Structure 1
Amino acid sequence: MSTPARSHPILPGATLGVLGGGQLGRMFVHAAQSMGYFTAVLDPDAHSPAGRVSHHHIHSGYEDPRGLAELARLCAAVTTEFENVPAAALEQLASRLPVAPAAASVAVAQHRAREKAHFVRCGVPVAPHAVIETAEQLAAVDAQLLPGILKTSTLGYDGKGQLQVGTPRELAAAWQQLKQAPCVLEKRLPLDFECSVVLARGRDGSCVSLPVQRNLHRGGILAVTEVHKGNMPQTLAGQALAATKSIAEGLNYVGVLCVEFFVLQDGSLVVNEIAPRPHNSGHWSIDGCDSSQFALQVRTMAGLPLATPRQHSPAIMLNLLGDLWLQGGGAPRTPPWAQVLTLPGCHLHLYGKAEARAGRKMGHLTVTGAHIDTVRATALRAAEVLGIAPF
């Protein structure tokens, strides 16, 4: 289903909508409001972080026809803040107003096998892998793919739906543990580090991107992002940017897209996965760039010109998980924000979530400054104060 065409940009004063009320929706709402737009959030949680700060909060399931009709009535365009939004909801909205990204693009990101096939079509290097959807496919797996990581094809994020396997017997047991869901087995490769690219692509095909981000994950969840000159070899950064653009163009993508990569110990680059939305690793851009990933999201859905973001400060971002509130084993505590905020260049962002849980993303801290050495020293001191492991 095609999105209704617009010959003119959607200007401030209009209402922009977002499916999903989490922290990404909240930061989108802040960006849209700062540019003069009204906002509407559709989310079933009456206390969602984005709904609390939006002009309109539609308390509705994502497939509720009445909720979707109300969102379409209020808005001039709609986006999404998470990739697992039902494609049917996007299709229904797209019959009435511009939706970015489109359902077809989101559907690729929702399914690892389709995602891998798209990477191959785009000529982007991927890890050796096999699709496992039947017992016959399981039995036919090449032993050269082991040891590997078995990942569910759908609904996997932040390390969920993933199991390490070393032998054919472990692989069979893992598939049973995952309830014989469609999966992708990826060969485990010798990893040096991880990186990501956040790109924005307009309806006219124009593309801009943030600088390449170097990432550290712990337990499958992003812990630290570093963005500065020399954070990775320039040749590799160029390859990552070119691969991201190829992936976006292959999808005819409109919106903000994040592509995550593995850099191997031999210096080669392979793509890991895509996120059809702003990404945790791009949050630093709010404080380190003249245009954040959320401002780019507003521009792409509104059909506004895309200007290349300029990084004005080296930046290190620390992810703030609910574990920080739960240290000590007693009742939840308030982390020592006052002590952290005495440090120069610290920018605290909390997402308005009422309950802290282990592994739950509660906020982030971005440290900026004139020189990366100073930024790193400050970020390490902030991590020490908060009880985050050094990096």
Structure 2
Amino acid sequence: MEYLEKKDAIILLEDGTIFHGKAVGIGGTATGEICFNTGTTGYQEIFSDPSYFGQIMVTTNAHIGNYGVSVNDEESDSIKIAGLVCKNFSEVYSRELADSDLLTLLKNQNLVIISDVDTRALVSYIRDNGSQNAIISSDILDKDSLKSKLSEVPSMKGLELASKVSCKQPYFFGDENAPLRVSALDLGVKKNILRNLASRGVYIKVFPYNTTFKDMQQFNPDGYFLSNGPGDPEPLIDAIQTTREILDAEKPLFGICLGHQVIALANGISTFKMHNGHRGINHPIKNVATGKGEITSQNHGFAINREETEANENIKITHYHLNDNTVAGIKHVSKPCFSVQYHPEAGPGPNDATYLFDQFIELINQNKDLK
């Protein structure tokens, strides 16, 4: 058996803290906001999720790569994370459905991988001290040189990244003969969201992040959708304005993750950068209407202001996070609009929240019946 070649590597956090590991694959240097995901499975979906663009991912699961990769598990057309930090990186996989090994996929896309890291210590540090920018390298081990390069990396606060992952031209998804049509604003959409809509009889036209309401309207859709995506929602001025116009037209609207935050901003509710965000597949949510708990897949570093949401007479909280009481879902009291902060499409994760896609279809059909 041929084993991975490894050489010394370093992880330098913005506050000067250093962790050590071994480079896997191509080696090199990468920068971005460092964060962690607590999922035990789903690494390929996580790495290809556009919402993670610009972030160095630390995986809390001890083994990465052990079940290979499959084309069916890709959430976009490429790896989106800026770098990977893990404990054990496996070149050997055992999964009948796998097409290849993870190392080949990541090497082909020039991703910097650092393994053999004490990820328990690193994750504990990020949890206590908050997510922050970091640099990982096997080429440069001098702390001062790394600090200099890291100082040039912009903060995630105020950073607009949707334009980096959004489609450049509109495209279609699903069956053109489907009974319903939805115009989707691509802020960094995951494929499984589109699959969930298409499987429910929706033909989708996906538009670039800065598309106007007028252009989205030309598809003659029955409803509108705002996708997930990376970065700070506040710089998305065009998307916020488009959302206001959708609301003014009283058209059915559903938002997920970044789309949820854009809907809040369009209703005068501010957002804030969280201490270290929610990233994993076992986050507990309380459904206010049913009183039941739901286990959800989450990936976000920003959230909407709860006090402002409670004070907004047009918005009602529908879900909240049981760990920290942050707002996890809202709906408009007089217009056909709702959104959630988490990922009902899973990919990876549990399916407790897939009913939200059915809820969107019901909302669209109700609106059609009123015409």
Structure that is richer in helix per residue: 1
Q: Name the structure with the higher strand share.
A: 2
Same fold, judged at TM 0.5 (above): no
Name the TM-score, length of structure 1 as normaliser.
0.30
